[in-house]
Structures are given as C-alpha cells and as structure tokens.
C-alpha cells in the first residue's frame, strides 16, 4: 500500500506547489510511512509541469522509493501488488518490474496489454516522456483508491491522489472511475489550452460484437460526472483492456420436471431414480465446494505469503511464543466470510506465527435511553445505530426491522464463537482475538478528526458507519485475553484480510432475498452483476483509504480474479438457493458444513 499523487498544470501562472497542500501530504504519508519523495517534471518549453509525490509502505523485497525515474525520463508511481500474470522474481520488486515493462512498450496497444495481464490490485500514474503522455487508472475492481480533481477552465490544473481532504475553496474531488485506464496528451492539451482525457475501457473480449454499445455506455457514464470543460474521448480504433475475469453465467435452470403432489412413494423405480438424482446432485455440490475451496485457498495463500517476514529471519533464534509478531490480520466478525478466510489463512501462514482476529464493538451506553424514542429522532446519535459491520447490520436488520440497534453484542458474541471453532481446528496456532471496544467519545473524536476525510468523497450514512467500523477494526488497538486476563494489545500486522465481495457474489445480503422474491433468478442475476460492477465506487476505494491510513494493506481474497471467474462461471442456482432459510442458502455455507476447510 502506498500513497501516490500527481499534480499537473498546463500553461499556468501558478506555482505547481500551490496545488499540493499540507493536509493531503500528511494523509499520503500515513499510507506510506517508509519513504516519501517528490519530483517535478517540466516540459522544455514549459507548456506543462507535473509534480509527482510517492509514499511507500514497505511490504516485500527491498525498499523501492517512489517516484521511479529512468534514463529516458519516464516516471512511475505504483500502488499495487502483482499476485500473478506478470512475472516477478524472488529478488525483484513489482514496482520496478512494472516500470521496466512499461518503458519497453512501443505503442498504446503494448501498454494496454501489460495492464490486461496483471492479476492483483493496483492504481498507478505513469509519465511517458517520449510522447508527453500521462497514463493512470485503477484495476478492474477498483481495489486501490485513486481520486481526481479538475481545476477551472482558466487554470487548467489537474490532480490525482490516493487520498485527499475536502477543501472549502477548492473543487470537488471524485474517485477515478474503475472503468478502464486514462491517458492525457500533455503537450496537445497545453496547445489546445484545454484538458482532454482518452479512456481505454475494460471489456470481456476485444472481439465482442457490441463494442460500439459498450464504448458509448462507458463514455456516457464517465463523462456525466466530469466538469463541462473536460473532454473525454475514446480511441477511434476502439482500443481496450481485456477484463481479467469471465462474464457472469446468467443461465437459469429449467423448472424441475417433477409434478408437485404426485405420490411417488409406491413406485420403487421412481424412488431410486430420485435417490440417484439426489446423490448426483450431492456429488455435484461436493465437487463444486471443493473447487471453490481450492481456488479461494490459493487466493488466500497469495495474500498471506506475499509479504516481508524478514525480522524473524534476522534474529535467527526461535522467539518465545509471546514475542512472535502476527504479520496477517483478519477483519473478524465471526460471520461465515471472516471464518472461512481465517481458516484458510491458517493453512498457509507459518504455524509459529500468530494470526490477529480483529473484532470491533461499539460501546454506546446512551443506547438504552434512546430505545424508547421514535424513528423520527433526527439527532446525529441515532445514526450510530447503523454503526456496525455490514454483515451483522444485515442480520439484525432482517430480524428487528428498520430501527437497528447493534452495539457490542452481536459481533462480539459471534466473534468469540468463531474463535472457539478456530481454536478447535488448529489448537497449536496462536489466535489473537483482539477485542476492540470503541466508546462514543472516541468515536466522535476520531470520526471528526480523520475518518470523515478518508471516507470523502463518499458521504452517505452507511459509508460513515462502515467506514468507522473498519477504521477502528483495522487500527487493531484493543485487548487480548491472556490466561483469562485482558491485556492491552496492538496489532502490527501490515496485511489485513477482509471478506468483502463474498456477499455481492453469493447473494448474501437481505436485499438479494427481496430482489429474488420480486424478480426471480433473472432479476437476481442482474442485481449481482450490477453490484460487482459498482463495488469499486461503493466500497473498495473507501476501504482502501481507511485501512491504508494505518500504514496497512487491505487484501480481498473473494475478489481475486480466479475466485471471481470461478464464481462467475456458475449459474446463480449453484451459488445460492434463496428458497432456503437465511444463513444456509449459500455455497459458502456448504464449505463450513464439509468441515474440510481445516
Ligand atoms: C517493492 O517495493 C515496495 C517499496 O519498498 C514495497 O512496498 C513492495 O512490497 C515491494 N514489492 C516486492 C514484490 O518486492
Ligand atoms: C488511437 O490509437 C492509435 C493506435 O495506437 C493511435 O495511433 C492514435 O493516435 C490513437 N488516437 C487517439 C485519439 O488517441
Ligand atoms: C470490551 O467489551 C466487552 C463486551 O462488552 C467486555 O466484556 C470487555 O470487558 C470490554 N473490554 C475492556 C478492556 O473494557
Ligand atoms: C453456465 O452454466 C451452465 C449450467 O451449469 C453450463 O452448462 C454452461 O456451460 C455455463 N456457461 C459458461 C459460459 O460457463
């Protein structure tokens, strides 16, 4: 996880530094505490200037300060991880590897094919000196944050950054849409005295017949949020990026041929056919569960092994169990998604290394007093009711209706139960169940001081609630139980695994039941496809900014490209049966049933 930023001025009278404010710098440093550097690049005729600022969190290999610059004056900022697709040798650094590949690209097609092949989360900024081009963008799911801001017509400034602060005077920041990658021809824009962006969108395959339609719809979508004086164009030869996943399988099973009400119990033949069908269905389910488990396990493996574990090697001695540090933490509600991830992490994290389970609870004492109040209660505190991770809100929401009241209870209880199961699965592992209790005062203070700014430019009540929960959880400051006694603990694990993406793909939210009831499987397919498409703007940019603020890196196993492709290949009927009761309806539940994740 790194903080990257670039400010561009075209024929501006202002000094470029004017656009680079202290608040933003401070936020960027928190994301990349291990190295901070900046670099200014000006065109020889001064028609444009760019300031690049890079802040690095060191996770693997040798520390590679950013921005990188090569002999041809190309410049590169990378906030990403290559988990696959582009070879990174054991002693190599992914930032350097990407930069080297980019510098070898001779055409736009080369650059697009490079980014099409990377597997893993990324956002980047690349200055291609020979063409005076600035390239930037986010990966297919938008797993890394990148914001942009455009100056007014006169100023022709443009800024990109991982995280920013709201400024009263300034213009709005927006998330860079994860719709493709962008290019600016700096020289041409300077000559035209106006900013024009080229967009190269993601597509499933470059031979799709509907290319034209896709281009138009993406273009519309992206340009509707741009200021009027910014032009957005697509390349006339329809260049595009290849999506790293396959499209969603929208097949709907034909209604089963069985006539309801027919008594078949006397017909031995029928019964055995039925049993056989049941058996085959079971076998089929089993196979699917194993396939799912395998692909998810690989995804978790990549995410827990790709990080720096140097300290232990340095001391060379076997540290006592109490001073072993965890390198991997899980945002742990005790719900199915976080359980599966923790159990799979256990398979791959070295056995002598503890795993931190981060479990957050909000201590809102005022709660009982609020109970009697009506829904109309408009005071700000009432919104705290929503303050808990999505999952448990959902569960409660389904049970108790609109006015949610979840403070410490649900996640702490499921969390402890989850811990027990994990301890049973692997008793020799040190499981640090970190109880993070947040008081109302602390919540108010930190939300004001910083969490609001990280959530920005998103601003809904739900963003606020989830954002606060994730911020406190990933900070990792709480208590662990040591022989029955609670002692203070701070998780220093730099990698934080989260289960986001599971419910979006496996129809785990209660809104999916509503959708299914109303519109059937067809409607549910549409809903799931839409939700995965918007997960970048709904969740991921925000979560990356929040977790990155602690100098930690969010990793999302359920959004691994292979996991998504596997799930996309299955028709909805294989993934969720919403005619079953809540909780046991989904494929991931089967995983727990088999008990074979251990
Ligand atoms: C490359 O270097 C950066 C900065 O030191 C670090 O964050 C990243 O984890 C490294 N990657 C690899 C693959 O070594
Ligand atoms: C479109 O792509 C072609 C091939 O890379 C390139 O020659 C041309 O300049 C591009 N056009 C624009 C408007 O970027
Ligand atoms: C945190 O909250 C839990 C549940 O309410 C409580 O049992 C525990 O003692 C609290 N921990 C601390 C350190 O206050
Ligand atoms: C979609 O699912 C159906 C039913 O399992 C299967 O027959 C078909 O091959 C799948 N299609 C794709 C493109 O994977």
**472-488 pLDDT tens trace:** 999 999 999 988 899 99
Q: Determine whether the shortest distance from the Cβ of 94 to ligand 1 is under 6 A.
A: yes
Q: Determine whether the shortest distance from the Cβ of 207 to ligand 2 is under 6 A.
A: no
Give the mean pLDDT of 266-290.
70
For the chain, give the percent of residues with pLDDT over 70.
81
CATH (domain of 78): 3.60.20.10
- Encoded tokens for 583: 């909780």
* Closest protein CA for atom 10 of ligand 2: 235
Same domain, 355 and 460: yes
Residue 437 CA, ligand 3 centroid: distance in Å: 6
Catalytic residue among 2, 50, 406, 468: 2
Same domain, 571 and 489: yes
pLDDT 10s digits, 361-394: 887 654 444 444 333 333 333 333 334 444 444 4
Q: What is the pTM of this model?
A: 0.87
Q: How far is CA 409 from the centre of its chain?
A: 27
**Of how many residues is the chain composed?**
598
Same domain, 394 and 336: no
Q: How confident is the model at residue 275 (pLDDT cuts 50, 70, 90)?
A: low
CA 202, CA 243: separation in Å to the nearest integer?
Answer: 5
Q: How confident is the model at residue 46 (pLDDT cuts 50, 70, 90)?
A: confident
Residue 320 CA, ligand 2 centroid: distance in Å: 61
Same domain, 237 and 300: no
Residue 386 CA, ligand 3 centroid: distance in Å: 20
Look at residue 446 and tell me whether its pLDDT is greater than 80. Answer: yes
Annotation says 2 is catalytic? yes
Q: Which of 576, 21, 539, 558 is nearest to 293 (CA)?
A: 558
Q: Determine whether the shortest distance from the Cβ of 343 to ligand 2 is under 6 A.
A: no
Q: Determine whether the shortest distance from the Cβ of 435 to ligand 3 is under 6 A.
A: yes
| Count of other CB atoms within 10 angstroms of residue 9 | 23
> Domain total for the chain?
3
Same domain, 372 and 481: no
Q: Determine whether the shortest distance from the Cβ of 63 to ligand 1 is under 6 A.
A: yes
Position in ligand 3 atom list of the atom nearest CA 478 = 13
3-state DSSP helix/strand/coil percent for the chain, to nearest 5?
45, 20, 35
Structural domain containing residue 18:
2-242
Same domain, 207 and 294: no
Q: Do the domain assignments include residue 256?
A: no
- Encoded tokens for 507: 């129809």
* Closest protein CA for atom 7 of ligand 1: 58
For residue 275, with 0-12 CB atoms within 10 Å meaning exposed, 13-18 middle and 19 or more buried, which class applies? Answer: exposed
Position in ligand 1 atom list of the atom nearest CA 97 = 13
Look at residue 234 and tell me whether its pLDDT is greater than 90. Answer: no
What local confidence, expressed as pLDDT, does residue 376 receive? 34
Q: What residues are paired with 447 via a beta bridge?
A: none
- Encoded tokens for 518: 């109303």
What local confidence, expressed as pLDDT, does residue 215 receive? 82
Q: How confident is the model at residue 11 (pLDDT cuts 50, 70, 90)?
A: confident
What local confidence, expressed as pLDDT, does residue 280 receive? 66
Q: What 3-state class would DSSP assign to 148? A: strand
Any idea which ligand is nearest the CA of 235? 2
Same domain, 375 and 435: no
CATH (domain of 434): 3.40.50.620
Please give the backbone phi and psi of residue 345, each rounded to the nearest 5 degrees, phi first.
Answer: -60, -40
User: Which of these ranges, 104-108, 324-328, 364-368, 535-539, has the smallest mean pLDDT?
Assistant: 364-368
CA 432, CA 355: separation in Å to the nearest integer?
Answer: 6
Task: Report strand pairing: 157-161 vs 2-10.
Answer: antiparallel
Look at residue 208 and tell me whether its pLDDT is greater than 70. Answer: no
Same domain, 412 and 402: no
* Closest protein CA for atom 1 of ligand 2: 235
Q: Do the domain assignments include residue 26?
A: yes
């Amino acid at each position: 996880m790194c903080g990257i930023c670039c400010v561009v001025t075209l024929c501006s009278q202002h000094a470029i530094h004017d656009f680079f404010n202290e608040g933003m710098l401070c936020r960027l440093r928190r994301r990349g505490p291990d190295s901070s550097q900046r670099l200014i690049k000006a065109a020889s005729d001064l028609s444009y200037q760019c300031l690049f600022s890079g802040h690095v969190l060191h996770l693997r290999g040798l520390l590679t300060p950013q921005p990188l610059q090569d002999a041809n004056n190309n410049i590169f900022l990378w906030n990403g991880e290559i988990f696959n697709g582009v070879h990174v040798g054991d002693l190599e650094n992914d930032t350097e590897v990407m930069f080297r590949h980019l510098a070898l690209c001779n055409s736009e097609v080369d650059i697009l094919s490079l980014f099409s092949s990377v597997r893993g989360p990324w956002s980047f900024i690349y200055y291609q000196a020979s063409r005076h081009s600035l390239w930037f963008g986010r990966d297919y799911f938008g797993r890394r944050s990148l914001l942009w801001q455009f100056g007014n017509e006169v100023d022709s400034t443009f800024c990109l950054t991982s995280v920013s602060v709201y400024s009263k005077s300034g213009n709005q920041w927006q998330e860079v849409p994860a719709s493709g990658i962008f290019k600016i021809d700096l020289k041409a824009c300077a000559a035209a005295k106006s900013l024009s962006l080229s967009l190269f969108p993601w597509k499933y395959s470059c031979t799709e017949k509907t290319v034209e339609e896709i281009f138009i719809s993406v273009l519309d979508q992206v340009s509707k949020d741009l200021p009027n004086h910014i032009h957005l164009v697509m390349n006339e030869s329809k260049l595009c990026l290849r999506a790293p996943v396959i499209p969603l399988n929208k097949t709907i099973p034909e209604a089963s041929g069985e006539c309801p009400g027919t008594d078949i119990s006397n017909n031995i033949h029928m019964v055995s056919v039925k049993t056989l069908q049941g058996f085959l269905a079971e076998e089929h389910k089993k196979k699917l569960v194993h396939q799912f488990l395998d692909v998810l396990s690989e995804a978790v493996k990549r995410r827990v092994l790709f990080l720096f574990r140097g300290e232990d090697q340095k001391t060379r001695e076997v540290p006592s169990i109490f001073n072993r540090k965890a390198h991997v933490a899980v945002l742990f509600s005790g719900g199915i998604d976080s359980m599966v991830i923790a159990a799979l992490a256990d398979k791959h994290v070295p056995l002598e290394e503890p795993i931190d389970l981060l479990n957050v609870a909000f201590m809102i004492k005022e709660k009982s007093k609020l109970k009697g109040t009506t829904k109309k209660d408009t005071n700000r505190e009432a919104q705290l009711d929503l303050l808990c991770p999505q999952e448990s809100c959902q569960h409660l929401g389904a049970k108790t209706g609109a006015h949610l009241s979840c403070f410490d209870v649900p996640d702490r209880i499921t969390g402890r139960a989850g811990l027990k199961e994990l301890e049973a699965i692997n008793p020799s592992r040190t499981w640090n169940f970190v109880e993070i209790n947040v008081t109302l005062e602390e919540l108010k203070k930190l939300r004001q001081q910083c969490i609001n700014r990280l959530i920005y430019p998103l601003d809904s009540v739900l963003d606020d609630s989830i954002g606060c929960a994730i911020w406190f959880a990933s900070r990792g400051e709480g208590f662990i139980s040591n022989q029955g006694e609670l002692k203070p603990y701070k998780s220093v694990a730099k990698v934080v695994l989260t289960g986001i993406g599971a419910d979006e793909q496996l129809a785990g939210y209660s809104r999916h039941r509503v959708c299914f009831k109303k519109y059937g499987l067809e409607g549910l397919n549409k809903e799931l496809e839409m939700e995965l498409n918007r997960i970048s703007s709904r969740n991921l940019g925000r979560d990356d900014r929040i977790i990155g603020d602690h100098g930690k890196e969010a990793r999302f196993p359920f959004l691994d490209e292979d996991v998504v492709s596997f799930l996309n290949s299955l028709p909805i009927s294989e993934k969720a049966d919403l005619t079953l009761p809540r909780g046991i309806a989904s494929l991931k539940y089967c995983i727990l049933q088999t008990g074979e994740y251990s």
